[in-house]
Structure 1
């Protein structure tokens, strides 16, 4: 399977809503991803298969300075276990570095620990979280 990765690639709201629903197990929404990303994100990475279909996505928010934050990492079922997720994170790290960021942060559920630490190279740090 040939996959291409594009930093700040064109976003089709319908395709991203469908991918997000598949990946996170909720009904297909009507989020204006393009507007949201352009307003709030440093960048994002779109992964597309040989037919141009969106098969992966990651959003990179930031603080306007040295810190970037990984959000919404998702890979279509048909493209999983092929390194697509790790390549998305790699492209996100490269785009963040090129933008002048010094740190890329991520938080995740426990079952994703091997993915982020082993496959993507994040290291464990002390952090805090308040559920709102």
Structure 2
């Protein structure tokens, strides 16, 4: 996980990914053999709202539909586990990708805390 995180986000990420993964509604990985090449995390509010976080694919494996399949699988699992709404925040250049995944625009707010 650390290798993919560093490649995707430019830092080493969490000291331990275990806590992050334990608190998720689900998380989905894509593998090339034993190597993790894609990841998406689904956080949730304990009720009907789930949240896509940290979608990433190793640069060498991009443009093959892996991220789309990761998000589709994450949505399927979230639905089965009781989520009725799936949210995602993204940077403007990712709008086309998330529209392709089935997301529609909504009004939202964001507050920087640190």
Shared fold (TM-score greater than 0.5)? yes
**Cross-structure match for 1:47:** 30
In structure 1, how many angstroms separate the alpha carbons of the residues matched to 2:2 and 2:15? 7
How far is 1:81 from its partner? 0.1
The answer for unaligned runs of 5 or more in structure 2 is none
- For these two proteins, the number of residue pairs brought into alignment is 113
Name the CA shift for 1:89/1:29 in 2 (closer, same or farther; >3 Å): closer
Off by >4 Å, runs of 4+ in structure 1:
none
**Alpha-carbon deviations, 1:19-42, whole Å to 9, x = none?**
01101123x34521123211x211
Quote the RMSD (CA, aligned, Å). 1.2
**Cross-structure match for 2:66:** 84
In structure 2, how many angstroms separate the alpha carbons of the residues matched to 1:48 and 1:22? 15
In structure 2, how many angstroms separate the alpha carbons of the residues matched to 1:30 and 1:125? 30
**Cross-structure match for 1:123:** 104
**Alpha-carbon deviations, 1:67-121, whole Å to 9, x = none?**
000111110011100000000000110010000110000001111111111x211
Question: For 2:21, which of 37, 60, 65 is the aligned residue?
Answer: 37
Q: Tell me the TM-score normalized by structure 2.
A: 0.93
Name the CA shift for 1:69/1:29 in 2 (closer, same or farther; >3 Å): closer
Matches within 5 A, 1:12-27: 16-26=1-11
Q: Is the 1:18–1:29 Cα contact (8 Å) retained in structure 2?
A: no
Name the CA shift for 1:19/1:65 in 2 (closer, same or farther; >3 Å): same
